Amino acid sequence: MPYKLLFVCLGNICRSPSAENIMNHLIAQANLSDRIVCDSAGTAGYHVGNPPDRRMAIAAQRQGITLCGSARQFVKADFETFDRILAMDRENLVNLCALDPSGKYRHKVQLMCDFCTRHTLKEVPDPYYGGTEGFNQVIALLFDACEGLLAEVTQELAAGK
């Protein structure tokens, strides 16, 4: 049974698909594709079915990452399906927790930036309304967070969790 990670932002066209594809890249490099699987979703349904944002795809491509996938909205069943659910910002975290009023799955939901080792930002900023630099910053931040997350998940897998 593979370990399942879900990355969540607002619309699932910028931050969360970038995190998903960066993580898949790092997982493949570590030869762990059979042990860890990733997906992404948005808390809102604005862009369901759409590919990742073109500007985000360009920023990712500069770092050797091709953004694949199409937007989907988070559903309550995702709480059961995934081992960890990674929110890009506090608002996403609050929205996810609101879908789990009993708090049964609260232990699975974390902020993506909690796994950063080089960057000090506590949230992944939404680059949607900004310029190129914002998209580049998100890619750098997500590489950092994904590396930290992969290290933690790898330790868990080694410990047999």
3-state SS class at 45: coil
- Alpha carbons 9 and 80: distance in angstroms, whole number: 18
Looking at 39, 53, 78, 126, which residue is catalytic?
126
97 is annotated as an active-site residue: no
- Alpha carbons 74 and 10: distance in angstroms, whole number: 10
3-state SS class at 4: strand
Looking at 14, 15, 55, 72, which residue is catalytic?
15
Here the tokens at position 19 are 């995190």
Residue with tokens 């762990």, as numbered in its chain: 32
15 is annotated as an active-site residue: yes
Looking at 9, 38, 113, 116, which residue is catalytic?
9
Q: Are 78 and 6 in contact (CB under 8 A)?
A: yes
62 is annotated as an active-site residue: no
Instruction: Locate all alpha helices (DSSP H) within 30-105, ordered by sequence.
Output: 54-61, 77-81, 90-98
Looking at the annotation, which residues are catalytic? Answer: 9, 15, 126
